[in-house]
Amino acid sequence: MAKSKPVRKPEKPVKALKEVAVTTPASLGTISLIAGLVAAALGFLLYVNTLGYYYALDDYSLIKDNWVVKGGLKNIGIIFTTEYRFGTWNSPGSLFRPIPLTMFALEWQLSPDKPWISHLMNVVCYSLTGWALWITWRRVLGKYPPALAFLAVLLYIAHPVHTEVVANIKSRDEILGMLFSTLALYSIWRHFESNNNKWLAWAALSYGVAMFSKEGSIMFIFLFPLTMWYFSEKSAGKIVKTTATMLIPVALFLLVRRNALGGQQYQEIYSILDNFLVGAKSQSERLASAFMMCWEYLKVLVYPATLVSDRGYPQLKPVDFSEWRAIAGFLVYLVMGLWALWKLPKKHVLSYAVFFYLICYSIFSNVFFLIGTSYGERLLYLPSFGFALALAWGILKVLKIDDMSNLLNPNNRGTQLWTIAGIILSIYSIRTILRNPTWENSASLYASDLPNSPDCAKLNYHNALEVARIAMDEKTGSVKDRAGLERAVECYTKCITLYPEYHDAYGSRGIAYFRLGQYDKAFDDYQVSIKYRPNNATVLSNMGFIYFMRGQLEKAEEVYKESIGAARQSSAMVRKGLCN
């Protein structure tokens, strides 16, 4: 007789697991479309008031006073074979950014001396950056709550530290570098989704545009594999292969850049007025000063209450490690880096955000090598996305949001989330809108920023130039406001007090004295200016005129010949640059 099978006791019913509806790239839907439009609209609305602004700061050397750019697209060959500021002065330089210059040339050709079109292009490109960031990071962060990517993008777009980038036409290079690097990352993810090499080609092309727009984009060659490792779950071989493809546009850029800049006879020399670290007496002092600036940059990123276009020498001076800000900068960045490394094996999103910031900022930090400036809020444009991502993660962590299915009301905490986000975004937006008018023109910029950086010699000098310009009738060259020109003299005097070797300030004050009819004072300033810069053709010409007025005809002829020789030498350098 066969044994009967034992009767199995019925199992207790298992409580069904809550099904998580992960939003895949293929099903982003209407809400995702709206999210992208919101990000783009925020970028546009925050800066729409800049469309009526004029040129400011570096806009003059790159557009208004740049003969190459003002020649339009016929000079595109020169743009791609010369240094960034070749059209204003043919001095040795290390910058090569032909794509933004080409855009400026086209804009000038279409609408000469009408900056509104260039301001519009900046705002449009910034708006497109908001869209590109959303469609990219929604994919990259597909395993995280969609609110993380959306909030990070909004915080980035609204951050007031970007005002210099969008409101100053010159900083198109920054916008294009971020926009096309982001599009390259987007194309990489589309390549992963479809396994279609067409998207990999688009990634390389986009990254090429980024590289030819801003050299700092090269840091994405480290971010690409890091991002793939953190968020794609692709094999090491696939990551290496994809990264190798992205090296192609980097190699092409470096080759073209070398051909364009390799013929320069002299090395670029940084002035202490541009980068105060030049005045450091030792390597230790230089490092301490660099870490002090690391602290200052992080402070303005976290608390952007005071924004300023320049904080140069002697507003900031070299320090040693007895300065608390140098110690704080070193320790904070060391802890950030070590913590990110500790969390690296776990692929912690916050550690990625820290790496993003540190990698992008490192090239501008002056820690590893000196660059042409010690302070510029535009340099935070790339690194600040790491900060925005970290801040967004922190908000979601505090609210314990892990819902993968709902963008607007995750974990039924939508009200809490968007109330907190709304407060921060409102503060950012108000600060941005209030900062924008500062960039309306150079006069408004320097006058507004001086109270926040009163001892910056360069800022004082440029403010003096604007005060003097307003006091003059540009068409006739006559003085229309004598009191205003006397104020300009006072401003130049402060520059000289702050930096006694400021030859440009001596020369400009001499011109102001000359226009006021105070020829002896003008002559004294010209002599000091020539001492520091012997080949200044304009100053030599003015000195010749004073010699002529004094009846010293032989001396006048001698100085006039020196002036003509200096002008010819400058012209020859331009022609030589064109031939090279």
- Place 487 in a pLDDT band, splitting at 50, 70 and 90: very high
Joined together, the tokens standing for residue 113 give: 């001396």
- Residues 233-258: what's their mean pLDDT? 96
- In the chain, the domains with their CATH numbers are 276-437 (no CATH), 442-579 (1.25.40.10)
Q: Report pTM.
A: 0.91
Give the chain's largest Cα–Cα span.
Answer: 141
pLDDT score recorded for residue 92: 77
496-531 pLDDT, tens per residue? Answer: 999 999 999 999 999 999 999 999 999 999 999 888
pLDDT tens per residue across span 19-29: 334 444 444 57
Residues 403, 414 contacting (CB under 8 angstroms): no
- For 168-192, letters b (16+ CB in 10 Å) and e give bbbbbbbbbbbbbbbbbbbbbbbbb
Band the pLDDT of 471: cuts 50, 70, 90.
very high
pLDDT: which is higher, 340 or 14: 340
Give pLDDT, residue 91: 72
How sure is the predictor about 480, in pLDDT bands with cuts at 50, 70 and 90?
Answer: very high
pLDDT score recorded for residue 440 = 96
Q: How far is CA 312 from CA 272, 308, 460, 461, in A?
A: 8, 11, 10, 12
Q: What is the mean pLDDT of residues 67-93?
A: 91
- The whole-number pLDDT of residue 571 equals 54
pLDDT on residue 265: 66
Which of the four pLDDT bands, split at 50, 70 and 90, describes residue 75? very high
| Percent above pLDDT 70 for the chain | 92
Residue 28's pLDDT is what?
52
Contact 58, 168 (CB under 8 A): yes
Confidence bin at 570 (pLDDT 50/70/90): low
- Cα angle vertex 527, ends 524, 532, to 5°? 135
Alpha-helical (H) ranges within 48-194 are: 59, 67-70, 76-79, 98-110, 116-140, 146-158, 163-167, 172-194
- The model's pLDDT over 104-136, given as tens digits with 9 standing for 90+, comes to 999 999 999 999 999 999 999 999 999 999 999
Q: Identify any residues that bridge with 479 across adjacent strands, giving them in sequence order.
A: 472
Percent pLDDT > 90 in the chain is 78
What is the 8-class DSSP label of residue 262?
T
pLDDT tens digits, 334-378: 999 999 999 999 999 999 999 999 999 999 999 999 999 999 999
Residue partners of 63: CB distance under 8 A and separation at least 6: 55, 69, 70, 104, 108, 115, 118, 169, 170
Q: What is the 3-state secondary structure (H, E, C) of 167-212?
A: HCHHHHHHHHHHHHHHHHHHHHHHHHHHCCHHHHHHHHHHHHHHHC
- Asked whether the predicted pLDDT for residue 575 surpasses 70, the reply is no
Residue 555 pLDDT class (50, 70, 90 cuts): confident
Question: What residue has token string 């929604």?
Answer: 138
Please determine, for residue 452, whether its predicted confidence score (pLDDT) is greater than 60: yes
Q: What is the mean pLDDT of the chain?
A: 90
